[in-house]
Amino acid sequence: MKNFKLLTVAAFAFSMLLGFSACKPKNAGSAISSDAASKAYVAPGKYDEFYNFVSGGFSGQLSTYGLPSGRLLRVIPVFSVDPEKGWGYSEETKPMLNTSHGFVPWDDLHHVQNSKTNGDYDGKWVFVNANNTPRVARIDLKTFRTAEIIELPNSGGNHSSPFITENTEYVVAGTRFSIPPDDKNGDVPINTYKQNFKGTISFISVQKDNGKMELSFQLQCPGFNFDLSRAGKGVSNGWFFFSTYNTEQAHTLLEVNASQKDKDFIMAINWKKAEEYLKSGKGRKQAVKYAHNVYSDETHSATSTIKTEVTVLDVKDFADIAYFFPCPKSPHGCDVSPTGEYIVGSGKLAAVIPVFSFDKMVKAIAAKDFIGNFDGIPILKYESVLHGEVKKPGLGPLHTEFDDKGNAYTSMFVSSEVVKWSVKDLKVLDRVPTYYSVGHLAVAGGDTKKPYGKYMVAYNKITKDRYLPTGPELSQSAQLYDISGDKMQLILDFPTIGEPHYAQIVAADLIKNNSTKFFKMEENKNPFFANGEKETKVVREGNKVHVYMTAIRSHLTPDNIEGIRMGDEVYFHVTNLEQDWDVPHGFAIKGANNGELLIMPGETQTLKWTPDKVGMFPMYCTDFCSALHQEMSGYVRVSPAGSNTPLLFSTGKNYAASDTAKKK
Amino acid sequence: MKKLAILLFLGAFIAACGSGGSESSTTASDNSTPAETPKTESGNPSYDPQRGEGKFTKVEIGEALDIAMAAEGEKVYGVKCSSCHKLTSEKLVGPGWTGVTERHSAEWIMNFSTNTDAMLDKDPKAQAQLEICLVRMPNQNLSDDDARHLYEFMRKNDGVK
């Protein structure tokens, strides 16, 4: 017995040593074996095996990398403006960033969820969250563009979001910051937190065929912080599991005050039950205000609608929607094993990783094995739902994903490492250092019913000495590990945009063959579409001037415009007449207080320009399109207000000869 | 003279870019083809420069103009061709269309307009034209019917009644 104790102490000391030594900078050579380069090598012209969708954190965007090469394939603008792509600058895209607070040009994107069918990725859409002004966006993987953004009422800090059910029936989003509900007076003392503040979980339904989102209902929950979640799957399909913290209900110095209790809660939600109550007419209608923005690939433009009502179910009014089970020390990740049987809670400050059993939870609920309640919601006994604890995993467990061989991988923020352990017997099998301070990790297919395994990526908060110095701000990083063998092997570092939080890794075969190559002109329903050069024109409506322009290699039509006057608002509606892959045209005009347009083949996009002085303004194509790209340009003449310069437009002496004759 | 030399140089450059482009596009559609083995196209006896390369091997053309088809073709012309091709002999971005049905067979024209990149990479007449125009004709993704209708419109433009 004494020996056993000694052994445990030794093992603990050893693991601590490992943990701490991992904090120390090491040079690359000490962690990389000689065949690493070949494992991450994808020959020029060859495709990667996986898409890696990586959250852009405070950039507000979603980045797409190829794996195993680590090549950056595309940055998809979502919640932040992107002048490069005209996102939030073109008249067509501005409504996408509308909210109940008006136009919001920035947000903080944390989590990524690929759509699923039967618990596996189906390659249709990616859902992502805006953390600051609470919203959920859907990205269409045919176009790799943001197709829809829905704002969430009654919400502050949309961190516990988005998480999806086994067949993408719902995307859910939980509040990080509880706040007074939107229909209540929020002008109350902050220290009335316990009386006035509520948390909400939003259920957004998703249409199977087209992905269209609707805010179906919200669950009103006790006022504390919801952190992360996973839907149940397989045996636990029909449930959601949310980690919570600040069950102390502190409203100041949370660093200390929200870390008082030995255990916070994981909240289990029976969403099928909630859905039943909703269908039977339960719940109350609440007046709210939120924006719902949809982009159409037919009109090539977005519409923003302000909605004014949501149905709310208060979980404490229903006996069988919500249950708490205790989880040590401010849990962050709350991850469900591929079978759906095990729920892994990762307490940021805990020394163990508790693994809960869904089967035990169901039995404990049936036996009413409660130790009390919180705000009317029953609390299950820790031991009754616990499958077991992973002992001495390292310091600061955050997130867990799973491979195809029954193993789990947990990121350890404080000790900068990834720990591999067996779901079956909860034994630690391997550990590798990360450089440094890993947050989320992603295993290929790691949250599905059938993980691919093969690769794991750690997304690190700190890079310090990993790359050439670039002043005070350094890129954050992803580190790719080969996990096909018994030992995890670091094979590649690559820098990321913004701050990478969660990411997912999806087989390229599910996505690459469905990619849109161009938009068919026959299907263009933009009201300012010019169907060929013969439909180009310039139309004055009071002080608004609409230019119906076309772009094709390599000229703009019209490319000479006269008769614009000071005080005019000029709208360049540019249609790209190309009908081939990878031939966008760009458009910009001198002095515009605006971004550029980047117009895909067959698309129409609009740039608004308010001339600021009399004179000559060159405009040109900004995206290199052909050998004569430099020639793809034109002039706009601006005359004083009230001038009688006639409105003229033309391209080339061979076109519209009468116009050019008039000018002479 | 200097200008001509530059143009010729550019022409060669574009042509070189052209074959690179086609390699990458075959790679894109079939990722298993190794990218580093360029094919030598010259002296390939299977290539018929009269017909060009593409799906059209034998197009039935009537004696008289099919007026309905020509009218359809004119619509396609207005949307997808007129930006670059005039109906006279004047060159704009691409060559004017006067006499085009006498210079090329129906099969060549229809193959070139639907399989543009492949033909720009190997067809001697298309490559000669590229050296003059310096802009690779865009593939405008015409349907088979579009191509046939356009050809009929070209015949009309060339005086067939």
CATH of residue B121's domain is 1.10.760.10
**Considering the entire predicted model, what is its pTM?**
0.88
Domain around B75: 2-27+65-157
How far is B3 from chain A, CA to nearest CA, in Å?
15
Last residue of a domain, one of A514, A544, A570: A514
What beta strand segments (E) does A118-198 contain?
120-130, 135-140, 145-151, 160-164, 170-174
Phi, psi dihedral angles at A481 (to 5 degrees)? -120, 140
DSSP letter string over A468-483?
A: ---SS---EEEEEEE-
The rounded distance, in Å, linking the Cα atoms of A178 and A200 is 8
A397, pLDDT greater than 70: yes
Confidence of residue A255 (pLDDT cuts 50, 70, 90): confident
pLDDT digits (tens, 9 = 90+) for B18-59: 333 333 333 333 444 444 434 444 445 678 999 999 999 999
A332, pLDDT greater than 90: yes
Domain around A621: 521-663
Cross-strand pairs, A135: A130, A151
pLDDT digits (tens, 9 = 90+) for A431-445: 999 999 999 999 999
Query: Could you tell me which of A255, A254, A228 has the C-alpha nearest to residue A241?
Result: A228
The rounded distance, in Å, linking the Cα atoms of A400 and A132 is 25
- Give the CA angle between residues A196, A199, A204 to the nearest 5°: 140
By C-alpha distance, the chain B residue nearest A549 is B83
- Cβ <8 Å between B135 and A654: no
Contacts (Cβ under 8 Å, ≥6 apart) of A266 = A241, A242, A243, A244, A324, A325, A326, A327, A331, A334, A343, A345, A356
Higher pLDDT, B9 or A576: A576
Q: Which of A52-66, A311-325, A407-421, B22-36 has the lowest mean pLDDT?
A: B22-36
pLDDT of residue A32: 67
Query: Could you tell me which of A97, A227, A103, A93 has the C-alpha nearest to residue A159?
Result: A227
Query: Could you tell me which of A159, A199, A194 has the C-alpha nearest to residue A181?
Result: A199
Higher pLDDT, A573 or A8: A573
- Cβ <8 Å between B80 and A654: no
Query: Could you tell me which of B39, B3, B16, B46 has the C-alpha nearest to residue B130?
Result: B16
Tell me, yes or no, whether B53 lies in a domain. no
* Mean predicted confidence (pLDDT) in A553-567: 96
A11, pLDDT greater than 80: no
By C-alpha distance, the chain B residue nearest A552 is B83
Query: Could you tell me which of A52, A205, A137 has the C-alpha nearest to residue A511?
Result: A52
- Length of chain B in terms of residues written: 161
The rounded distance, in Å, linking the Cα atoms of A661 and A655 is 11
Tell me, yes or no, whether B34 lies in a domain. no
Tell me, yes or no, whether B82 lies in a domain. yes
Interface test with B, best of A49, A509, A533, A557 (most B CBs within 10 A): A533
Query: Do residues A545 and A496 both lie within one domain?
Result: no
Which amino acid is it at A412? M
Query: Do residues A510 and A527 both lie within one domain?
Result: no
Q: What is the CATH number of the domain that holds A594?
A: 2.60.40.420
Confidence of residue A119 (pLDDT cuts 50, 70, 90): very high
Query: Do residues A168 and A270 both lie within one domain?
Result: yes
Confidence of residue A253 (pLDDT cuts 50, 70, 90): confident
Last residue of a domain, one of A491, A514, A537: A514
**Residues in chain B whose Cβ is within 8 Å of chain A:** 10, 14, 23-24, 27, 31, 35-36, 78-80, 82-84, 86, 90, 92-93, 134-136, 138-141
Tell me, yes or no, whether B39 lies in a domain. no
State how far the alpha carbon of A614 is from the alpha carbons of A285, A498, A609, A644, A664, in Å. Answer: 56, 41, 14, 14, 21
* Mean predicted confidence (pLDDT) in A487-516: 97
pLDDT of residue A20: 44
Number of domains present in the structure of chain A: 2
* Mean predicted confidence (pLDDT) in A352-374: 96
Query: Do residues A92 and A41 both lie within one domain?
Result: yes
pLDDT digits (tens, 9 = 90+) for A637-650: 999 999 999 999 99
DSSP-H helix ranges across B30-79? 67-76
Q: Are A215 and A307 in contact (CB under 8 A)?
A: yes
pLDDT of residue B45: 61
Whether A551 and chain B come into contact, CB under 8 Å, resolves to no
A17, pLDDT greater than 80: no
Higher pLDDT, A605 or A651: A605
Tell me, yes or no, whether B36 lies in a domain. no
Query: Do residues A414 and A563 both lie within one domain?
Result: no
Beta A585-589 vs A597-599: how paired, if at all? antiparallel
- Cβ <8 Å between A532 and B82: yes
Which DSSP symbol is given to B80?
A: I
Q: Which two tokens stand for residue A150?
A: 């829905």
B17, pLDDT greater than 50: no
| Phi-psi sector, A431: left (phi>0), alpha (psi -120 to 50), beta | beta
pLDDT of residue B98: 97
Tell me, yes or no, whether B40 lies in a domain. no
How far is A59 from chain B, CA to nearest CA, in Å?
31
The rounded distance, in Å, linking the Cα atoms of A42 and A482 is 15
Number of domains present in the structure of chain B: 1
- Cβ <8 Å between B135 and A46: no
Query: Do residues A471 and A547 both lie within one domain?
Result: no
How far is B31 from chain A, CA to nearest CA, in Å?
6
How far is A521 from chain B, CA to nearest CA, in Å?
9
A501, pLDDT greater than 60: yes
Tell me, yes or no, whether B59 lies in a domain. no
Query: Do residues A501 and A529 both lie within one domain?
Result: no
Average pLDDT across chain A, whole number: 93
Query: Do residues A281 and A305 both lie within one domain?
Result: yes
Query: Do residues A497 and A538 both lie within one domain?
Result: no
Tell me, yes or no, whether B46 lies in a domain. no
Residue bearing tokens 């990080």: A176
Query: Could you tell me which of A434, A540, A510 has the C-alpha nearest to residue A477?
Result: A434
Phi, psi dihedral angles at A539 (to 5 degrees)? -120, 125
Q: What is the CATH number of the domain that holds A442?
A: 2.130.10.10
Q: Are A361 and A385 in contact (CB under 8 A)?
A: yes
pLDDT of residue B32: 42
Phi, psi dihedral angles at A307 (to 5 degrees)? -100, 155
Q: Which two tokens stand for residue B136?
A: 């690779």
Q: Which two tokens stand for residue A254?
A: 């949370």
Which amino acid is it at B144? D
Interface test with B, best of A73, A515, A626 (most B CBs within 10 A): A626
Q: Which two tokens stand for residue A226?
A: 């919801």
Which DSSP symbol is given to A96?
A: G
Query: Do residues A483 and A547 both lie within one domain?
Result: no
Average pLDDT across chain B, whole number: 80
- Cβ <8 Å between A532 and B90: no
Task: Return the top range by mean pLDDT from A26-30, A211-215, B35-39.
Answer: A211-215
Last residue of a domain, one of A499, A514, A529: A514
- Cβ <8 Å between B141 and A550: no
* Mean predicted confidence (pLDDT) in A451-472: 95
- Cβ <8 Å between B141 and A553: no
Query: Do residues A634 and A580 both lie within one domain?
Result: yes
Whether A579 and chain B come into contact, CB under 8 Å, resolves to yes
* Mean predicted confidence (pLDDT) in A616-635: 94
The rounded distance, in Å, linking the Cα atoms of A379 and A376 is 9
Whether A554 and chain B come into contact, CB under 8 Å, resolves to yes
Can you say how many angstroms the Cα of residue A587 is from the centroid of all Cα atoms in its chain? 29
Q: Are A500 and A62 in contact (CB under 8 A)?
A: no
Query: Do residues A500 and A547 both lie within one domain?
Result: no
Angle separating helix axes B124-133 and B2-29, nearest 10 degrees: 130
